[in-house]
């Protein structure tokens, strides 16, 4: 996401799209499906693939919050029905506030704790409280198992494991210094969300509220009891063959511009194993045995799944561009693909191609912006 100003204009209602409240883009309705923790079952992926092929533009787009969106949805009501049938729309009132990032490998490889249960507890708690349906659709929660992969992604409210039984409370993307028992972590987050709702006024994110973190701590009756951890952005997620150490394998696959064609998604679903969509627009295919993992790589690598961490596609990203966005001055995705094919990238390293100066979809960290001007592109390099 592009950086937001300290005091942005929030006089208009939050129009963040969901599965029910779609966004009318230049190419049609855009629907975004929340996946708490990025969790996705094979039958759910199959349903999304069928919907992409039959009701939309034929692709699934992964987002930087571990969600999935479909473009040019022709029948939003039928799409919502299909989501409900496979458990992807458990609440019509709370569907846009189920923004929960979690350490994607938690419970399988590394980490101090397994946060998968926390994801389900937090999601259930959000949906069970009618008042929390009023949270802006941009509010984000994070649950980090201690490895530091998602705590640095600027969540409004989060937990970061500092031991098997203790968590740090993360507010506005920073360690508040407050520590609570791990068993109390999710209830504390839910109460923090209620406090955020009471103090936000017309602001959408906690970091936009002057003294917001301090107000929430006071409302919770908590204070700093430890030196805050440095929760820096951990960079891109893993790619390739990941050994659980117990005979299990997870395959981490990158995707060109975070997009999965419907047919490829159906092949992924046919493996019939749990999946995790990550905040780095990649997908984890989990709990494989070695033979199955080898077959998946053999079949799906030629279909566009990226298992090589050195792929140039993993260094680039782009906004939607033309024709999907009316504000775009160029078909940035087509131009980027042509530049990669010809080896004519305008800058080395991480880069984000955009159709205008809004720089939508910009990833965090040091990234060069390649900006369409209407007469070619200019390069905005990150400050040194």
Q: What CA–CA distance (Å, rounded) separates 188 from 169?
A: 9
Among 46-50, 231-235, 265-269, 358-362, whose mean pLDDT is lowest? 231-235
Predicted local confidence at residue 13, as pLDDT? 58
Q: Taking a C-beta distance cutoff of 8 angstroms, is the pair 166, 180 a contact?
A: yes
Which pLDDT band, with edges at 50, 70 and 90, does 363 fall under?
A: confident
Share of the chain above pLDDT 90, in %: 79
Q: Given a cut of 80, is residue 267 above it in pLDDT?
A: yes
Query: Does the structure show a pLDDT above 60 at 173?
Result: yes
- List all residues 6 or more positions away from 301 whose beta carbon is below 8 Å from its beta carbon: 307
**Which residues have a Cβ under 8 Å from the Cβ of 196 and sit 6 or more positions away?**
135, 139, 156, 157, 206, 212, 216
Q: Are 21 and 93 in contact (CB under 8 A)?
A: no
pLDDT of residue 5: 37
Confidence of residue 12 (pLDDT cuts 50, 70, 90): low
Name the band, by pLDDT with cuts 50, 70 and 90, for residue 10. Answer: low
Identify the CATH homologous superfamily for domain 313-380.
Sulfite Reductase Hemoprotein, domain 1 (3.30.413.10)
Residue 2 has pLDDT above 80, yes or no: no
Q: Is 210 exposed, middle or buried (0-12, 13-18, 19+ CB in 10 A)?
A: exposed
Q: Are 347 and 364 in contact (CB under 8 A)?
A: no
Is the pLDDT assigned to residue 343 strictly greater than 70? yes
pTM: 0.92
Radius of gyration of the CA atoms of the chain, in A: 20
- Is 126 within 8 Å of 97 (Cβ atoms)? yes
**How far lies 205's CA from each of 1, 197, 218, in Å?**
13, 10, 18
List, in sequence order, the alpha helices (H) in the chain.
42-55, 76-85, 116-128, 185-199, 212-220, 262-270, 290-300, 332-342
Q: Kindly report which listed range (114-123, 127-136, 334-343) carries the lowest average pLDDT score.
A: 334-343
The closest of 16, 1, 22 to 70, measured between CA atoms, is 22
CATH class, domain 90-235, is alpha beta
What does the alpha-carbon distance between residue 189 and residue 313 come to, in Å, rounded to a whole number?
A: 36
The pLDDT of 191-208, averaged and rounded, is 94
Question: pLDDT value at position 4?
Answer: 38
Q: Specify whether the CB–CB gap between 247 and 291 falls below 8 A.
A: no
Average pLDDT for 215-240: 92
pLDDT at 100 over 90: yes
Q: What is the pLDDT of residue 348?
A: 87
- Whether 262 shows a pLDDT value over 90: the answer reads yes
- The mean pLDDT of the chain is 92
Residue 7 has pLDDT above 60, yes or no: no
pLDDT tens across 139-154, in order?
999 999 999 999 999 9
| Per-residue pLDDT, 365 | 76
Mean pLDDT value of segment 204-229: 95
Least confident window among 135-139, 147-151, 243-247, 358-362: 358-362
Q: Is residue 1 pLDDT above 50, yes or no?
A: no
pLDDT score, position 317: 87
Given phi > 0 = left and psi -120 to 50 = alpha, else beta, which region is 374?
left
Lateral strand order in the sheet of 240-243? 39-40, 275-277, 283-288, 249-253, 240-243
């Amino acid at each position: 996401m592009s950086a937001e100003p300290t005091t942005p204009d929030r006089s208009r209602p939050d129009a963040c799209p969901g599965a029910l409240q779609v966004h009318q883009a230049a190419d049609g309705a855009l629907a975004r499906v929340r996946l708490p923790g990025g969790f996705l079952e094979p039958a759910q992926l199959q349903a999304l693939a069928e919907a992409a092929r039959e009701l939309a533009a034929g692709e699934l787009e992964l987002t930087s919050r571990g969600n999935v969106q479909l473009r040019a949805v022709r029948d939003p009501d039928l799409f919502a029905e299909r989501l409900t049938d496979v458990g992807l729309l458990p609440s019509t009132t709370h569907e846009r506030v189920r923004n929960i990032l979690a350490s994607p490998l938690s419970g399988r490889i590394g980490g101090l704790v397994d946060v998968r249960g926390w994801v389900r507890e937090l999601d259930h708690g959000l949906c069970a409280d009618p008042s929390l349906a009023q949270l802006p659709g941009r509010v984000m929660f994070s649950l980090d198992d201690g490895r530091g992969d998602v705590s640095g992604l600027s969540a409004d409210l989060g937990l970061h494991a500092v031991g098997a039984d203790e968590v740090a409370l993360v507010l506005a993307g920073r360690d508040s210094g407050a520590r609570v028992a791990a068993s109390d972590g999710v209830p504390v987050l839910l109460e923090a969300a209620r406090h955020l709702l009471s103090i936000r006024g017309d602001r959408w994110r906690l970091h936009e509220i002057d003294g917001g973190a301090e107000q929430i701590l006071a409302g919770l009756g908590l204070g700093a009891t430890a030196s805050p951890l440095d929760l820096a952005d951990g960079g891109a997620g893993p790619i390739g063959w990941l050994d659980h150490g117990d005979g299990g394998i997870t395959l981490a696959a990158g995707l060109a511009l975070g997009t999965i064609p419907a047919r490829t998604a159906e092949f992924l679903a046919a493996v019939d194993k749990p999946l995790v969509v990550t905040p780095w627009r990649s997908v984890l295919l989990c709990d494989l045995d070695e033979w199955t993992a080898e077959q998946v790589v053999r079949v799906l690598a030629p279909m566009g799944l990226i298992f090589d961490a050195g792929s140039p596609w993993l260094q680039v990203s782009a906004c939607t561009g033309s024709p999907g966005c009316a504000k775009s001055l160029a078909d940035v995705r087509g131009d980027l693909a042509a530049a990669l094919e010809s080896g004519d990238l305008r800058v080395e390293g991480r880069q984000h191609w955009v159709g205008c100066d809004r720089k939508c979809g910009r990833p965090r960290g040091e990234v060069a912006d390649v900006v369409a001007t209407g007469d070619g592109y200019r390069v905005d390099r990150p400050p040194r």
